[in-house]
Amino acid sequence: MIKKYRFGKPFPTEAVIENIPEAQGAMPRFAVDKNAHTFTCPLAKEDRVYGLGEQVRGINKRGWHYVSYNEDDPIITEKRTSLYATHNFLVVAGEKGAFGAFFDSAAKAEFDIGYTHADELKITAIDVDVYLIDGENIDDIVRQFRKIIGQSYIPPKWALGFGQSRWGYKCEEDIRAVAKGYRDANMPIDSIYLDIDYMERYKDFTVHPERYPDLKGLASDMRAEGIHLVPIIDAAVKVEDGYSVYEEGKANGYFCKGADGEPYVVGVWPGESVLPDVLSPEARKWFGSHYKVLLDDGIEGFWNDMNEPALFYSKGRLHAALEIAAEARGRNLVLEDFNKVTSAIGTLANNINDYKEFYHETPVGRVCHADVHNLYGYNMTRAAAEYFERYEPDKRFLLFSRSSCIGMHRYGGIWTGDNASWWSHLLLNLKMLPSLNMCGFLFVGADLGGFGDNTTEDLLLRWLALGIFTPLMRNHTTLGTRNQECYAFGQKDAFRRILGIRYSLIPYLYSELVKCAVRGDMMFRPLAFEYPSDKRATVEDQILVGESLMICPVYEQNAAGRYVYLPEDMKMIRMLAGDDYTEEVLPAGDHYIEVALDEVVFFLRKGHVLPLAKPAKNTSELDEKALQYVKYIDRDTEYELYVGKGEKKSELAGALKKVTVKA
Ligand code: MIG
């Protein structure tokens, strides 16, 4: 049961695709203060609050305040209140049942979840459609929500293969070396990512003529080895006379404009740049059509970056800051004067005041960026997806984005941005997965091993042991860090084994992902959703993966294992080399589980089975005819398996196979 209430004049985000009429009467559950734009609801002692997608802190979001305003800031610590994405759906669950609430707004919103007052949830949002959802239980509420926002993006099956990335692969030779590194080490891989260095001076839709003289040839050589190249696309377009993307966009008015009607100039990688107005349907169509150059070279997947949008500076603010610095030149600066200089320079990047200075031409008229900020990454990704639909309608492309908002889940997946090589970020990766799924994002993953800072061999191994369960499984790191490829470390066997397990799990992961997309279910669920009356099921470091599994990664350095809580009897599966494993039924309760660095241990739920393939060197060599089933059942049990290459949208209808596994 869903009811919609409108406050102010919300911008049409197109997050919800079902037509839901406004409800009559006052909104229940929340006390509404129309002047303060607040929605307040009491929290009982036992209430837990789930959701908000990509955010800091716990699976249960209670006890902190969160801000929905997409932000490019790579230092992800507990004090943060917003990350790269905005996902305004939450569920409040307690002893008297649960309800869901979606605050559909393109602008800034705040969620104070028992932070100011421990017993109060207070949301602040100005122009917003609020959807209140009642249901039988949390899963039912989520399913209803997912139905109104439309089916989640399904990637091609190869996108579930392992991918290697790094900012700093400069040229074709670097890419070939990575492919060779994996091949020589006999480790599986399906994709290698191209970061900004493949472009000519960071110009979107160009390829550097010396570094990558023949991208098409490189892509086809790689494909022959089962490897896909996945280039990055940045949001901003370089200002440069003679650069066709800039010239066309300028001539047609396709860039965001300042109050003077001229393209608004910001600074990003290529220096002075302009922002494609992806909120204008014509501009969106035009920007998307540029992906063609790379598609024509045989590229089948992309990652969209810097689309919060991230701004190093705006031209106006930079010049003002440089003036202040120039005035200070040669003077003996007292502290106040010195602070004036550092603050002018230090507040250039991603300055919210700049968002107030440029505009979009949308179907409902001209709007200021500040009021629709959260929709930028969503619509940049939509631009690409809508073009793919025109380029080859039946083909599934890999597409994921850094910034997003609910609605974008229909067009692509996300990675969770610039994490760091910290153990705490391994755990944060786990905690974010359920909330991302609640908000429609199924194809998700974090930079495995950590993006910022130097990783360690054990951190990467432990992180991969979690990453083998996430649909997007990519090892990525930033410029200047130590080598992070799996073959760069000493314990080659351990890496080979863990990557191999990923490939054995792909038939299961793919099937679960597709079922969750089609049915509006969550692939990653907190234990509390399944075992609502068990207080211990509120654990924050174990989650369910699909219908059959519970995972409990090790996330502390030098730990020989960890404590695991079993809400019911479960079968412990300890993966050995390849698709070989040992199994042991453990009774409900607490257990200390030893997990060596080269092992993966997970649990199979009672009444369930798990299909396992033989490890393969890439997804195209996976043999789904030779699956074995791990089982914990006392009667014949059916498993719904999605088979096939997973390359075409039309193949889905005939790809569901019901397999009966004998007890
Ligand atoms: O300002 O393209 O999150 O994955 O490697 C940094 C370079 C820009 C940020 C992305 C990261 C990528 C990096 N980008």
> 471 phi and psi, to 5 degrees?
-55, -45
Q: Minimal CA–CA distance to 11: which of 356, 372, 352?
A: 372
Average pLDDT over residues 538-550: 98
Element (H, E) at 400: strand 398-401
pLDDT digits (tens, 9 = 90+) for 322-380: 999 999 999 999 999 999 999 999 999 999 999 999 999 999 999 999 999 999 999 99
Query: How does DSSP classify residue 255?
Result: B
Common-topology check for domains 2-149 and 508-661: yes
Beta bridge partners of 112: 65, 122
Confidence of residue 569 (pLDDT cuts 50, 70, 90): very high
Q: Whose CA is nearest to atom 12 of ligand 1?
A: 167
pLDDT per residue as tens digits for the range 49-95: 999 999 999 999 999 999 999 999 999 999 999 999 999 999 999 99
CATH of 2-149, one of 2.60.40.1760, 3.40.50.720, 1.20.58.220, 1.20.1090.10: 2.60.40.1760
Taking CA atoms only, the protein residue closest to ligand 1 atom 8 is 306
pLDDT at site 614: 95
Q: C-alpha 36: how far from its chain's center?
A: 32
How many A from CA of 305 to the centre of ligand 1? 7
- Residue 449 CA to ligand 1 center (angstroms) comes to 15
The reported pLDDT for the residue numbered 9 is 97
**pLDDT of 517 above 80:** yes
For range 510-522, the mean pLDDT: 98
Give the span between the Cα atoms of 447 and 121, in whole angstroms.
Answer: 32
Q: How far is the CA of 418 from the centre of ligand 1 (A)?
A: 7
Ligand 1 nearest-atom number relative to CA 196: 2
Q: Contact at 8 Å (CB) between 204 and 240? A: no
For ligand 1, the distance from its centroid to the CA atom of residue 399, given in whole angstroms, is 16
Contact 611, 629 (CB under 8 A): yes
pLDDT digits (tens, 9 = 90+) for 204-226: 999 999 999 999 999 999 999 99
In angstroms, rounded to a whole number, what is the distance separating the alpha carbons of residues 589 and 586? 9
For the chain, what's the residue count? Answer: 663
Look at residue 576 in the predicted model and tell me its pLDDT. Answer: 86
- 55 Cα–ligand 1 center, Å: 19
User: What is the tens place of the pLDDT at every residue in 142-192?
Assistant: 999 999 999 999 999 999 999 999 999 999 999 999 999 999 999 999 999
**Ligand 1 atom closest to 303 (CA):** 4
Q: Do residues 566 and 589 touch, judged by C-beta distance below 8 A?
A: yes
Q: Is 330 exposed, middle or buried (0-12, 13-18, 19+ CB in 10 A)?
A: exposed
For position 579, what pLDDT does the model report? 85
Q: What is the pLDDT of residue 593?
A: 98
Q: Which atom of ligand 1 is nearest to the CA of 232?
A: 2
pLDDT band of 578, cuts 50, 70, 90: confident
Q: Is residue 195 in contact with ligand 1, taking CB distance under 6 Å?
A: yes
pLDDT > 90 in the chain, percent:
99
280 bridge partner residues: none
pTM score over 0.95: yes
Q: Which atom of ligand 1 is nearest to the CA of 195?
A: 2
Q: Is it the case that residue 318 has pLDDT exceeding 80?
A: yes
Q: How far is the CA of 234 from the centre of ligand 1 (A)?
A: 9
pLDDT digits (tens, 9 = 90+) for 4-34: 999 999 999 999 999 999 999 999 999 999 9
| Domain spans, the chain | 2-149, 508-661
Residue 229 has pLDDT above 80, yes or no: yes
| Two structure tokens written together for 59 | 């699976």
For 407-435, what is the mean pLDDT? Answer: 98
Ligand 1 pocket, residue 232 CB under 6 Å? yes
CA dihedral 76, 82, 87, 93 (to 10 degrees): 90
| Statement: residue 577 has pLDDT above 80 | no
Report the candidate in 106, 82, 98 with the shortest Cα–Cα distance to residue 16: 106
**CB-based burial, 226-259: b 16+ in 10 Å, e otherwise:** bbbbbbbbbbbbbbbeebebbeebbeeebbbbee
Show Cβ contacts of residue 185 under 8 Å, excluding neighbours closer than 6 positions: 486, 487, 492, 495, 496
Q: Are 144 and 91 in contact (CB under 8 A)?
A: no
CATH code 3.40.250.10 for 508-661: no
d(CA 617, CA 182): 10
